[in-house]
Amino acid sequence: MIHSHEEEKDLILLIKGGNEIAFRQIYDRYRTKIVSFACRFLKNEEDAEEIMQETFIRFWQARDKLDHSFTAAPLLFTISRRLVLNELRKIAKSEKAIAQLSKKTEELDQLSQDIMVAKEIDEKSKEALNYLSPQQKVIFCLSRYEGLSHDQIAEQLHISPNTVNNHLVESLKKIRKHLLRYGLIHFFILFHH
């Protein structure tokens, strides 16, 4: 299921206030992703589960410092990355293990950079929405954030699927043009195709 960024910002705001139900929703949304992220590097499901648990404990403990204008993913992955690195350092007892640690650290750094780029693209894409007409904005959001098909959007807005397609094509042109200013266009193509 696709969740909107606005919905997640609302959950973050509730978590800041100590709302455990909102925390559980974020937990349910990201727990599997955190486990599979940790498992990629630790190669051990049990250790990955522990990393996930500790990640959410720290996330909850830091709730008063959360910035509700962002989604939870960047912070959760930063916390789990640190925990994974700590775990890998504990495991590294021989020169061979240290060499493997260095390789894993590079992979983690690359993944962290990918997360940051994704966050920047997300922010700049939202910024670009201001350049769309009201109709284009509605259609783009229904397509990209709500995951609706052209036919579903057409039915909901009482317009033809062809009109939906035309608006999406124009929207993407405007967004690409905006992202071109920031040198993010190649990343945008990767993330949106």
For the chain, the structural domain boundaries read 1-91, 117-193
| CATH architecture, domain 117-193 | Orthogonal Bundle (1.10)
User: Which CATH class name applies to 1-91?
Assistant: mainly alpha
Q: Which two tokens stand for residue 51?
A: 């990393």
Q: What is the pLDDT of residue 192?
A: 45
* Tens digits of pLDDT across the chain (193 residues): 445 667 888 888 899 889 999 999 999 999 999 999 899 888 889 999 999 999 999 999 988 888 777 778 888 888 998 999 888 877 766 556 667 767 777 777 777 666 666 676 667 767 777 888 899 888 888 887 777 888 999 999 999 999 999 998 898 888 777 777 666 554 444 444 4
Task: Specify the pTM.
Answer: 0.51
Q: Quick one: which of 171, 179, 176 has its CA closest to 142?
A: 171
b/e per residue, 166-186, with b = 16+ CB within 10 A? ebbebbbebbeebbeeeebbe
